[in-house]
Amino acid sequence: MAAERAAKVGTTTALLVLVGGALAVYGLDQLSKFLVVTNLTEGEVVPVLGTVLQWQFVRNPGAAFSLASGMTWIFTILAAGVITFIVWFARRIRSIAWALVFGLLLGGVLGNLTDRLLREPSFGLGHVIDFISTPWLIPAIYNVADIAIVSSMVLFMILTIRGVGLDGIRESKRTDAAAEAEPAADAPATGQATTDGPGAAPAGDGRTPLAGSPLAAES
């Protein structure tokens, strides 16, 4: 129960986590791209951990991980739509985990959208700066924003599979709580007098027998 209470938070706390996560991702993404552009030449490869991790400066006109090049405008519009949805949807979140999901997604989408809007060759068609290369893992080159977007999708799948709602409560716990509440609602109120059943006194008609009547003589 303590863990469940910790997972469920108020709207303000969830919004702070979401915004804080988004700003952290966005700031790290833009700072790393600035350092790459100012210190590396395009196409240059700098080994960091041999062939395990390398810096390789490329300009990507496509989507995350250098996919679907030549569709920059489409991804620009999609990114704007995702950001609009997150801003509209944010007030429904009552869970730190879900706030992290949307914070990572928002920061990553904003990071790449900034490149598409402000970098060469033109507004809305700018190329995204990619520089992280892990040839042993995937052949594509990516950036901090891409990592945040993929991480948000992984966390989204985990929370969905575990049945965690936007309020931080798992669906199974919600069902158990509803099942426990049903017997309490069906139970009779305590202290209520019962007049039926064996041994119950017969109810009278509330009238006093007249003097001289057989009923009066018996009483």
Whether 176 is catalytic = no
From 29, 146, 196, 205, active-site residue: 146
From 29, 115, 130, 205, active-site residue: 130
Whether 130 is catalytic = yes
3 state SS for the chain: CHHHHHHECCHHHHHHHHHHHHHHHHHHHHHHHHHHHHHCCCCCEEECCCCCCEEEEEEECCCHHHCCCCCHHHHHHHHHHHHHHHHHHHHHCCEHHHHHHHHHHHHHHHHHHHHHHHCCCCCCCCCEEEEEECCCCCCCEECHHHHHHHHHHHHHHHHHHCCECCCCCEHHHHHHHHHHHHHHHHCCCCCCCCCCCCCCCCCCCCCCCCCCCHHHHHC
Catalogue the active-site residues.
130, 146
